[in-house]
Amino acid sequence: MRETVQAEVMMSFLVSEELSFRIPVELRYEACDPYAVRLTFHLPGDAPVTWAFGRELLIDGVGRPCGEGDVHVAPSGPDLLGDVLIRLQVGGDQALFRSSTAPIIAFLDRTDKLVPLGQEAAKADFDTHLDEALDRILAEEQSAG
């Protein structure tokens, strides 16, 4: 049986400064891929989109701005118990989400109970699971495209 932590979090999808709407976003963590978190969202009229990025990036981003490249996570203000912003970007296209910090922390707490932070290497069998993970990512990209 696959060890998984999953949560549906209502987030605001920020289209512009004037326009946003709330959508359910699935967060998923699997012990067989202990360094990654998957975020899946579905905009009306589009296929579901899944992003995979580091669990540690999400943990760090709750407390301070962090991220390089395509994924950035940061608190929305100085209040750590407020909201968190998650920006996903490919080229000039981006998706910006705002979530209450509490459900993100609750999700991360559950992932830590499954695989404690710093113990990922004990769960990761990269030789065995690398091909499986790459196949899954490619399948997700093909189904979304």
Is pLDDT above 60 for 127? Answer: no
CA-CA distance, 60 to 58, in Å (whole number)? 6
Is pLDDT above 70 for 130? Answer: no
Structure confidence by residue, pLDDT tens digits, 56-91: 999 999 999 999 889 999 999 876 678 999 999 988
**Averaged pLDDT of the chain:** 87
Per-residue pLDDT at 1: 44
Per-residue pLDDT at 16: 86
CA distances for 55 relative to 50, 60, 73, 115, angstroms: 15, 9, 11, 11
- Mean pLDDT confidence for 115-139: 71
**Helix H or strand E segment including 90:** strand 83-90
Report pTM. Answer: 0.80
Is pLDDT above 90 for 2? Answer: no
CA-CA distance, 51 to 125, in Å (whole number)? 22
CA-wise closest residue to 8 among 24, 29, 32, 30: 24
